[in-house]
Structure 1
C-alpha cells in the first residue's frame, strides 16, 4: 500500500495502535502456567473490544486470533494447551484489520529465569529491528534494511533466518512490496517510494538460518534448532524517514 491521503494515514495509525496495544496486554499476561490458548483469548478480547478482526484468522483461516510460538517454534505457532514455563522464550505476532486497513507487529519475551545469552538475544533482536527501521525513507533502497541488519548480526555473532521476510501491508495482510529481505540480498534493486507501507521484522538467532515446516500446516521451526527471536513493526517510508505505526498508546 502507498499512503495517498490523510484518511489513509488515520486508518493505518488506528489499527497500528490497536495491534500494538494488544501485544502489550498479552505481554503483561505472560506468566508460568498460562496456556497459549488462554493468552490468545486475551488478545482476541482486546482486538474485539477495539472493533478489530484478527488478520490471520480472517485472511488465511488460521486457528487462533494471534500467533504464539514458544522456544523451538519461531513463527505461526497455533494457540493451544501448551503451558508457558519458566525459562521459555515466547514470540507473539499480532496482526489485525479495522475499517479496511491492516497492521502487523510482534515481539519475543523471555520468561524468567533465563540465561544472560537469552537476555542478550532479546535485547539485540530489538536492536536489529531498529537497525533496519533506521534505513527506511522515501527514495532509499530497500536493500539497505537487510544490509544494516546483516552487519549488526555478523558483528554480534548471530545468524539470521533467511526465508522469513518482511512484506508490504496496509490494504491486505501481505501485499507489495513482497519478500523484503532482512538479511543482505545483492539481488534487491527496489526503491522505497514516499508513503510505502511495509513491515520490518528480522529473525535473529543463536544459530538458525532457515525456518522449516513441522507436523501441522502452520507452525515453523528453526533449522538447525536454535533459539530465535522476532521483533516487528509496521512502518511508512516518508521523506523524513520512518513513520512507525505500531507503537502502543500512552
Structure 2
C-alpha cells in the first residue's frame, strides 16, 4: 500500500492503534497457568470490540485470532491447550483489518523469572527492530534495513532467521514489496518509495538461522534449535523517515 491521501493515513493509523492496543492488552494479561487459547480469546475480544477482523483468520484460514508462539516455537504458533509457564518466552503477533486496511505488529514477552541471557536477547531484539526502522525513508534502499540490522546482530554475537522477512502491508496482510530482508542481502536492489507501508520485523536469535515448519502445518521452529525473539511495527516511509502507526493509544 502507498499512502496517497489523509483518508488512507487515518484508516491505517486507526487499525494500527487497534492492533497495538490488542498486543499490549494481551501482554498485560499473560499469567503462568493460562493457556494460549485463553490468551488468544482476550485478543479476539479486543479486536471485535473495535470492529476489526483477524487477518490470519480471514486471509489464510489460520486457526486462531492471533499467533502465539512459546519458547521453541518462533512464529505462527496456534492458540490451544498449551499452558504458559514461569520463565517462558511468549511471542504474540497481532494483525487485523478494518474497513479494508491492514496493520501488523508483534513482540516477545518474558514471563518472570527469565534468565539474564534471554532478558538481554529481548532487549536487543527490540533494539534490532528500532535500528531497522531508522533506515526507512522515501527513496532509501530497502537493503539498508537488513544491512543495519545485520551489523548490529554481528556486533552483539547474534544470528538472524533468514527466511522470515518483512513485507508490504495495507490493502492486504502481505503485499508488495514482499520478502524484505531483515538480514544483509547483496542482491536487494529495490528502493523505498514515498508513502510505502511496510513492516519491520527482524527475528534475532542466539544461534538460529532458518525457520522450519512443524507437523501442524503452521508453527515454525528454529534451525538450529536456539532461542529467537521477534519485534514488529508497521511503518510508513516519509521524506523525513519512518512514521510508526502501530502505537497504542
**TM tier relative to shorter chain:** over 0.9
Which stretches of structure 1, 4 residues or more, deviate above 6 A after TM superposition?
none
1:156 aligns with 2:156: yes
Structure 1 residue 217: Cα displacement = 1.1
Cα deviations by residue, 1:204-224 (Å, 9 ceiling, x for unpaired): 001100000111010000111
Partner of 2:232: 232
Give structure 2 stretches of 5+ with no counterpart: none
Rounded to whole Å, the distance in 2 between the matches of 1:212 and 1:168 is 22
Counterpart in the other structure of 1:242: 242
- State the Cα RMSD in Å: 0.4
Q: 1 CA distance for matches of 2:214 and 2:23?
A: 25
Name the residue aligned to 2:66: 66
How far has the Cα of 1:118 moved from its partner? 0.5
**TM-score under structure 1 normalisation?**
0.99
Counterpart in the other structure of 1:82:
82
Figure out how many residues of one structure are paired with residues of the other and give that number.
249
State the Cα distance separating 1:79 from its structure 2 match.
0.0
Which residues in structure 2 correspond to 1:166-205 (within 5 Å)?
Answer: 166-205=166-205
**Partner residue in 2 for 1:31:** 31
Question: With structure 2 as the length reference, what TM-score do the two structures score?
Answer: 1.00
In the TM superposition, residue 235 of structure 1 has moved relative to its aligned partner by 0.3
Find the residue that maps to 2:199 and give its secondary structure. strand
Counterpart CA distance in 2 for 1:31 and 1:207 is 28
CA apart distance, 1:28: 0.2
Report the secondary structure of 1:80's partner residue: coil
Which secondary structure state, in structure 2, belongs to the residue aligned with residue 146 of structure 1?
helix
Cα distance in 2 for residues equivalent to 1:120 and 1:181: 23
User: Secondary structure at 2:170's aligned position in 1?
Assistant: coil
Secondary structure of 2:8's counterpart equals helix
* Residue 44 of structure 2: aligned partner: 44
Q: After superposition, what is the alpha-carbon deviation per residue over 1:224-249, rounded to whole angstroms, capped at 9, x for unaligned?
A: 11110000000000001000010111
Other-structure match for 2:221: 221
Other structure's SS at 2:95 match = strand
Q: Which residue of the partner structure matches residue 16 of structure 1?
A: 16
Separation (CA, whole Å) in 2 of partners of 1:154 and 1:110: 24
SS across alignment from 1:140:
coil
Alpha-carbon shift at residue 152 of structure 1 (Å): 0.3
